[in-house]
Amino acid sequence: MIDLSFLAHLRKPRRRSGLRNRIIVNSVVILLVLVIATSYTAFASFDLARSVELLFRNSISMEELRSTLRDTQENLTGYLSAKNSESLKEFIRTSTILSGMTSRLNRENKVDDVFLLEKDLAFLLDGYLASAEGAVQAKRGRDVAQYVSLYEDARRNASLIEFLSARMDTIHLDQSLKGFSSYKANISPALVSNGVLLLVAFLLSIALIGRYSYTITEPLARLSVAAEAIGRGEYDHPLPPYEREDEIRTLHDAFVNMQDSIQRAFAELTRKAELERSLMEERMRVLTYQHRLKDAELLALQTQINPHFLYNTLAAGWQLALTEGNEKTAEFLEKLAAFIRYALKPSTRFVLVSEEIECVRQYIWLLKLRFGERFRFRLEAQDEALGYETPALVLQPLVENAIVHGLKDLEEGGDVIVSARLDGETVRLSVSDSGRGMEKDSIALALAAADPEDTTPQHGIGLHNVVRRVALATGGLGRVEIESELGHGTRVTIILQAGKAV
């Protein structure tokens, strides 16, 4: 922020209103001539404007009255002929407006043809509104004879109102034309005198402006040159002294002091810029830490089955079973060891879809060994999809989730289908089951894991962690969709961008 303390040290001028007084005097003289020049024309124009205003005001008033009357009559006719509710609404609206216009008309006896016609027009409008509203009420009461009679009365009154309003327009026009003729006879002398006065005002204004413009603009021009120099970085640009004691002197002294203040302000800004640079470096360190934290979270999602000794132990058991001739046990230990070895590879890796399908195939073999024929498994993998990449260990947790949660209540007959197919520019991996399905709240809770800010506590490597891993590993380009209906099973689909096939 620029230091403005220099304002406190400005020398107080002995006379601060010199420039202001000159401008005021100059302006008053010019304005006085202009007022004299335009006053006469203004008074004459006022009479014309009043006549024209009266003409148009009365004409517009009558035209609005006739237009509103026609709208009211049209809506009345529409309602009585078809009993249209929209026509009734419009009739109520326009008749209310017409009633308001009627209330502003003259109702007193005056020695004037216009006022007498206006009084007659008011009584006709009252009769029209009464007949029209009576016809509407009779129509509602289904009194055909009554509303037909009242409608005819309203129509006759409307015709008379049209005639009277047109007659009043004619009278108003005659009166306004008489006033305009009087104004026209006096306009020429007024225009001549006004032109002379305006010419005098113009010449006097030129003389006064020429006299004072130099004394005001010359010191301001010098200040402008100095300001441009400061804009180029020349903070020591010399500024000639100004001797007159007025407002420009105050501005001149303030500008000189501002040159010093800017130099001090730049030193302060340099210090703050250095501080902001340090803060930005600290912020970058924090962002780097957060990025590493996300990587650690991705690693933690797969390292929950990380005891390497288990793989080594299973390998030893497999060798022992072979030595003893127990081939079934050896095959079991071999497949279990292969599955664990697949899971213990680096957690952030991408693998081929074919590898992920093979992992699921081994896991299904282990499940059949455990459950026998209780569940039916089917693998449907297109050859075109096998060469693309996918985050590792995403299908096995979904199969496990289908068995543990979807089919746990079935004694037999449960189906689990694992598929992999290429769909245009995407690879779609899915696991579906015929189990009990999922609640909408459970689906929403699982899909919320794709949000990096989600902090919902979860355990294991189930559906929630698959959603999280797909989002993190693909940078948000991959996603998981869940389709489920209670009692009719669940399908979980992983949709990945199809990269270059291997």
Residue 163: which CATH number?
1.20.120.1730
| pLDDT over 90 at 30, yes or no | no
Q: What is the pLDDT of residue 354?
A: 92
CA 7/CA 39 separation, integer angstroms: 47
Residue 376: which CATH number?
3.30.565.10
Render 63-76 in DSSP notation, one character per residue: HHHHHHHHHHHHHH
User: Over the chain, what is the mean pLDDT?
Assistant: 76
Crossing angle (nearest 10°) for helices 113-140 and 18-82 = 50
How is residue 156 written in tokens?
């006759």
Residue 329 lies in a domain: no
Residue 16 lies in a domain: no
Mean pLDDT within 324-345? 68
Q: What is the pLDDT of residue 13?
A: 43
426 pairs with which residues across the strands? 423, 497
The domain of 122 spans 31-214
CA 292/CA 298 separation, integer angstroms: 10
Angle, vertex CA 291, rays to CA 288 and CA 292, nearest 5: 90
Q: Are residues 191 and 161 in contact, defined by beta-carbon separation less than 8 angstroms? A: no
Angle, vertex CA 343, rays to CA 340 and CA 317, nearest 5: 10
Three-class HEC string of 405-426: HHCCCCCCCEEEEEEEEEECCE
Residues 6+ apart with CB under 8 A from 417: 377, 378, 380, 430, 431, 432, 433
| pLDDT over 60 at 437, yes or no | yes
Residue 369 lies in a domain: yes
Instruction: Tell me the H-state helices in 232-326.
Output: 247-302, 308-323
CA 115/CA 236 separation, integer angstroms: 82
Q: What is the pLDDT of residue 192?
A: 74
Residue 339 lies in a domain: no
Tens digits of residue pLDDT in 48-72: 566 556 555 666 777 788 888 888 8
pTM equals 0.41
CA 479/CA 222 separation, integer angstroms: 67
Q: Which of 172, 166, 185, 169 is nearest to 54 (CA)?
A: 172
Question: 202 and 59, same structural domain?
Answer: yes
How is residue 54 written in tokens?
């009266």
From first CA to last CA, the distance across the chain in angstroms is 60
| pLDDT over 60 at 3, yes or no | no
Residue 282 lies in a domain: no
Q: How many domains, in total, are found in the chain? A: 2
Q: Tell whether the torsion through CA atoms of 313, 316, 322 and 324 is positive or negative.
A: negative
Query: How many helices, marked H, and strands, marked E, lie in the chain?
Result: 11, 7
Q: End of a domain among 214, 229, 244? A: 214
Backbone angles phi, psi at 418, to 5 degrees: -110, 125
Residue 273 lies in a domain: no
Residues 6+ apart with CB under 8 A from 423: none
Q: What is the pLDDT of residue 493?
A: 96
CA 233/CA 419 separation, integer angstroms: 71
Q: How far is CA 134 from the centre of its chain?
A: 51
Q: Which of 223, 222, 220, 201 is nearest to 212 (CA)?
A: 220
| pLDDT over 80 at 309, yes or no | no
Q: Are residues 476 and 305 in contact, defined by beta-carbon separation less than 8 angstroms? A: no
Choice among 72-76, 245-249, 373-377, 411-415 with the minimum mean pLDDT: 245-249
Question: 322: pLDDT confidence band, cut at 50, 70 and 90?
Answer: low
CA 248/CA 222 separation, integer angstroms: 11
Q: Tell whether the torsion through CA atoms of 451, 456, 459 and 464 is positive or negative.
A: negative
Residue 117 lies in a domain: yes
Mean pLDDT within 156-180? 77
CA 493/CA 474 separation, integer angstroms: 15
Q: Tell whether the torsion through CA atoms of 17, 20, 26 and 28 is positive or negative.
A: negative
Choice among 163-172, 243-252, 301-310, 440-449 with the minimum mean pLDDT: 301-310
Token look-up 């497999």 returns 318
Greater model confidence, 363 or 62 = 363
Mean pLDDT within 25-53? 65
Q: End of a domain among 167, 192, 214? A: 214
Residue 80 lies in a domain: yes
| pLDDT over 90 at 379, yes or no | yes
Q: How far is CA 93 from the centre of its chain?
A: 36
Q: End of a domain among 214, 244, 279? A: 214
H or E segment and range at residue 440: helix 440-447
